[in-house]
Amino acid sequence: MLRSWRVKLKLLLATVTLAVLLSWLYLFVGSLEYGRFLLLPPCLGEQPSRDVEREALASRVRRVEEENQQLRLQLSQAQAEGSDGSPQWGASTEDGDPPRGERSNRTACPKQRTVHKCELLHVAIVCAGHNASRDVVTLVKSILFHRKNPLHFHFITDSVAHQILQTLFQSWMVPSVHVSFYNADDLKAGAWPRFAQSQPAARGAEGKGPEVSWIPNKHYSGIYGLMKLTLTKALPSNLSKVIVLDTDITFATDIAELWAVFGKFSDKQVIGLVENQSDWYLGNLWKNHKPWPALGRGFNTGVILLLLDRLRRLGWEQMWRLTAERELMSMFSTSLADQDIFNAVIKQNPALVYRLPCFWNVQLSDHTRSEQCYTEVSDLKVIHWNSPKKLRVKNKHVEFFRNLYLTFLEYDGNLLRRELFGCASLPSPPSNQLQQALEELDEDDPCYDFRRQHLTQHRVHLFFLQYEFLALPNPTDVTLVAQLSMDRLQMLEAICKHWAGPISLALYMSDAEAQQFLRYAQASEVLSTRRNVAYHIVYKEGQFYPINLLRNVALANTQTPYVFLTDIDFLPMYGLYDYLRNSIQQLELPQRKAALIVPAFETLHYRLTYPKSKAELLSMLDMGSLYTFRYHVWPKGHAPTDYAKWRTATVPYRVAWQPDFEPYVVVRRDCPKYDQRFVGFGWNKVSHIMELDAQEYELLVLPNAFMIHMPHAPSFDISKFRLSAGYRGCLQTLREEFHQDLSRRYGAAALKYLTAERSL
């Protein structure tokens, strides 16, 4: 009996020891879970507070204490009953309380549908004009930086933004990114949208659709601020859901997290929105302030989740239109564009809206409650610069937000051309052709770097600043065409003072330099007032200056019938723009194939009193303050102009092509393109003039026109040319290949160029 009691006592002590160890382990695991919960980002769609976290931990501690009390009670009962041999073993649990193993595996995050690794996410953005086209790039960069999924951007654009963004995305060539465009002018006018050729699946028959042009709108976004109302009809009918964003948004997280919130919608919810963080819809901002009706504080439409299929079934078009018509009878106009109408609809139908946590749209306008949306940097998801002041908005943490925005603003977009591993890329014939051409290159070729540069796909942002397109160009109008990099920026103001006509410039810059240029141009009294200067950014990539690519970009985006092909270091004579237009008309250039040569001169002085006439120029030439261009280092380049004859000429005269001739000319806009194999220094203009001659252009020297080259430091490429025998050898190889291509295109007529080359 005594032995049996001792065995039972040992078993009881072992049980108590095990219970204590389990309790300690439970506390330890609980603390780890709590620590991990603090380290990991909050659950999608929720932001647990610190009070909730502390309460959860306290609850765990209380449960463990209760279990310890039960174990101590069992121990005392066992000791009391040990003498009669009827001990009771085991710990009881409350009804409905799951086993401890299950309890320890619980998660504080509610179950929700996750986003598949390769699921295609759809994003819609309304974008119109030059400024919005520039702003939206920063938004796209922030999305691409964080994304792990394929993306399909749907842009509702005017013709300006369409041209800019289509060129940008085609040249950007980001893997697993597809882009479609929809004509905003059709939507506001009341026709079905005309879809871009790149989106055949989305095209539909022409027909009448919803109009927004009838809605009076005071918002600075204008008519385009109402376009989001039309997305159920504008977007393809087979598209079931989409994230809609304003252009002044910056993402600080993966957009897939926002996409996953669709899985939390109830059966009746169709629109996901963040509550408005200002007091606008409360109607107390000033005396007699009367906003549109809204539910509570209302909702901000900078970030919207739309279940398009459900909206279509609900008759969304009729719903918002009837609401707008009714409210406009008393409101007369919208103040916040589509946001007023969305809120009026939700006021009538509260069940339609899913309330997004406010960190999905932290609104940085003055006097908002945005600071309540975050306590840590990791809380931030989406930043919305929804004030007209933009980066100058008042906010306690605006410096941090501004730095985050500037990071993406100046971020090298080339770094975002990364593949999504494990996801098949969307088919892209241009990308496939480029990849094949790169694979065919011989890396052992001494000129590999030159050939690789020729195949480099540069991102191109056309019309970086405001530009007023010509409705009906004059038949003799002419555009000055040039290219430059950051070190020639100081020439822009001087050229604009000398040339009153349209200008097309290609600027070779990094993303950060493009923003420096933007600030420079906006601060310049001369440049900021010009609306006929087109700036096209070609983003830096590779080790050589792609001079002929830049020229082709500037040339391709002119509007006038004629172009003046020059370099940024030259100042044209005062009045040259009018003189060229008169010469084009007098020489009947539209009826003949001719290139008008503008004689080139140079000065070695950084400060120059610019000659006001040909007579003054000849006087300065005689005094030695001016020279014929490059007479002392490269006379062959301009000697065929025949400066001696020019001194006394009063009418245009014809000159013959000669080897290495590279004058600056006025030609029709449809002239041959520059050969882009020539990068860096050497033969980039020579090859172009040679092809003009091969196409039988007349070379006519203008007797009363001139331009003067201003001194500058040598370029990096000319230094490489002078110092590297390999560089010069590759240039010779490219020249020979160009001659062979010329012979194939023009046959026997091109033999004279090869003969002339060999005789040198």
**For residue 639, which phi and psi values (nearest 5 degrees)?**
-55, -40
User: Which value, to the nearest 10 degrees, does the dihedral of the CA atoms of residues 225, 231, 235, 239 take?
Assistant: 140
Could you report the per-residue pLDDT of 619-676, keeping only the tens digit for each?
999 999 999 998 888 889 999 999 999 999 999 999 999 999 999 999 999 999 999 9
Q: What pLDDT was estimated at residue 509?
A: 97
Which one of 393, 411, 429 terminates a domain?
A: 411
- Reading the block at residue 144, the tokens are 């691409």
Q: What pLDDT was estimated at residue 385?
A: 84
- Reading the block at residue 656, the tokens are 């013959």
SS (H, E, C) 113-135: CCCCCCCCEEEEEEECHHHHHHH
- Give a yes or no: residue 195 inside a domain: no
Residue 403 and residue 542 share a domain: no
Q: What pLDDT was estimated at residue 74?
A: 54
Asked which of 4-18, 305-319, 347-361 is least confident by mean pLDDT, the reply is 4-18
Residue 357 and residue 477 share a domain: no
- Give a yes or no: residue 654 inside a domain: yes
Asked which of 31-35, 189-193, 597-601 is least confident by mean pLDDT, the reply is 31-35
Using pLDDT thresholds of 50, 70 and 90, give the confidence band for residue 701: very high
Which one of 395, 411, 427 terminates a domain?
A: 411
CATH number of the domain encompassing residue 466: 3.90.550.10
Could you report the per-residue pLDDT of 449-494, keeping only the tens digit for each?
888 888 889 999 999 999 998 777 789 999 999 999 999 999 999 9
Quote the number of domains for the chain.
2
Residue 317 and residue 180 share a domain: yes
- Give a yes or no: residue 423 inside a domain: no
- Give a yes or no: residue 46 inside a domain: no
Residue pair 141/411 in contact (Cβ under 8 Å)? The answer is: yes
Q: Is pLDDT at 151 greater than 60 in this prediction?
A: yes
- Give a yes or no: residue 596 inside a domain: yes
More confident residue, 210 or 327: 327
Residue 390 and residue 241 share a domain: yes
- Distance between CA atoms of residues 690 and 444, nearest Å: 31
What is the mean pLDDT of the segment spanning 277-295?
Answer: 81
Which one of 350, 379, 411 terminates a domain?
A: 411
Residue 533 and residue 474 share a domain: yes
**For residue 533, which phi and psi values (nearest 5 degrees)?**
-110, 115
More confident residue, 559 or 187: 559
Using pLDDT thresholds of 50, 70 and 90, give the confidence band for residue 192: very low
Mean pLDDT, rounded, of the chain: 82
What is the mean pLDDT of the segment spanning 137-155?
Answer: 96
Q: Which strands make up the sheet holding 249-251, listed edge to edge?
A: 249-251, 382-384, 362-363
Residue 402 and residue 477 share a domain: no
The residue written with tokens 């549908």 in the block is 113
Residue 488 and residue 382 share a domain: no
- pTM for the model stands at 0.80
Percentage of the chain exceeding pLDDT 90: 52
- Judged on CB neighbours under 10 Å (0-12, 13-18, 19+), 439 is exposed
- Reading the block at residue 1, the tokens are 């009996």
Residue 489 and residue 389 share a domain: no
- Give a yes or no: residue 36 inside a domain: no
User: Which value, to the nearest 10 degrees, does the dihedral of the CA atoms of residues 251, 252, 256, 259 take?
Assistant: -60
Residue 730 and residue 654 share a domain: yes
- Give a yes or no: residue 453 inside a domain: no
Residue 465, helix vs strand vs coil: coil
In 10 A of CB 366, how many CB atoms? Answer: 12
Q: At how many degrees (to 10) do helices 398-409 and 129-146 cross?
A: 90
Which residues form the domain of 471? 460-755
C-alpha radius of gyration, the chain, whole number: 36
Q: What pLDDT was estimated at residue 681?
A: 87
Element (H, E) at 307: strand 299-307
Residue 407 and residue 472 share a domain: no
Using pLDDT thresholds of 50, 70 and 90, give the confidence band for residue 100: very low
Residue 584 and residue 654 share a domain: yes
What is the mean pLDDT of the segment spanning 59-67?
Answer: 56
Residue 396 and residue 467 share a domain: no
- Give a yes or no: residue 29 inside a domain: no
Residue pair 534/503 in contact (Cβ under 8 Å)? The answer is: yes
